[in-house]
Amino acid sequence: MMAVESIAFSYDNSRSILNNITFSALEGSCYAILGNNGAGKSTLLKCLNRILRPKTGTVYLDGDDVKSLNGKNIARRMAYVEQHSEGGRLTVFDTVLLGRKPYIKLNPGKHDIEVAQRAIERLELSRFSMRYVDELSGGELQKVMLARALAQEPAVLLLDEPTSSLDIYNQYEVMRIIKDIAVSDNILVIVVIHDINLAVRYCDRFVFLKDGLVYACGGHEVITEQNIKNIYGIDVTIETVNGKKIIVPN
pLDDT of residue 139: 85
DSSP tag of 136: S
pLDDT-derived band at 230 (thresholds 50, 70, 90) equals very high
pLDDT of residue 128: 93
- Distance separating alpha carbons of residues 101 and 215, to the nearest angstrom: 38
pLDDT of residue 56: 94
pTM tops 0.85: yes
- Distance separating alpha carbons of residues 248 and 232, to the nearest angstrom: 13
pLDDT of residue 87: 64
User: Which phi-psi region, left, alpha or beta, contains residue 11 (left: φ > 0; alpha: ψ -120 to 50)?
Assistant: beta
Q: What is the pLDDT of residues 21-64, one digit of tens each?
A: 999 999 999 999 999 988 999 999 999 999 999 999 999 999 99
Comparing C-alpha atoms, which of 192, 186, 219 is closest to residue 205?
219
- Distance separating alpha carbons of residues 58 and 77, to the nearest angstrom: 17
Q: What is the pLDDT of residues 144-174, one digit of tens each?
A: 999 999 999 999 999 999 988 788 998 999 8
Q: What is the pLDDT of residues 52-103, one digit of tens each?
A: 999 999 999 999 999 999 999 999 999 999 977 666 789 999 999 999 999 9
Per-position b or e across 68-88, b if 16+ CB within 10 A of its CB: ebeeeebbebbbbbbeebebe
What domains appear along the chain, each with residue ranges and CATH number? Answer: 2-249 (3.40.50.300)
Q: What is the pLDDT of residues 91-106, one digit of tens each?
A: 999 999 999 999 998 8
Comparing C-alpha atoms, which of 75, 57, 65 is closest to residue 17?
57
- In the 3-class helix/strand/coil scheme, how is 139-155 assigned residue by residue? HHHHHHHHHHHHHCCCC
pLDDT of residue 166: 85
The pLDDT of 130-155, averaged and rounded, is 92
Q: Percent of the chain scored above 90 by pLDDT? A: 82
pLDDT of residue 105: 86
For the chain, list the strands marked E by DSSP: 2-10, 16-25, 30-34, 56-61, 64-65, 78-81, 156-160, 188-192, 205-210, 213-218, 236-241, 244-249
Mean pLDDT of the chain, nearest integer = 93
Q: What is the pLDDT of residues 179-213, one digit of tens each?
A: 999 999 999 999 999 999 999 999 999 999 999 99
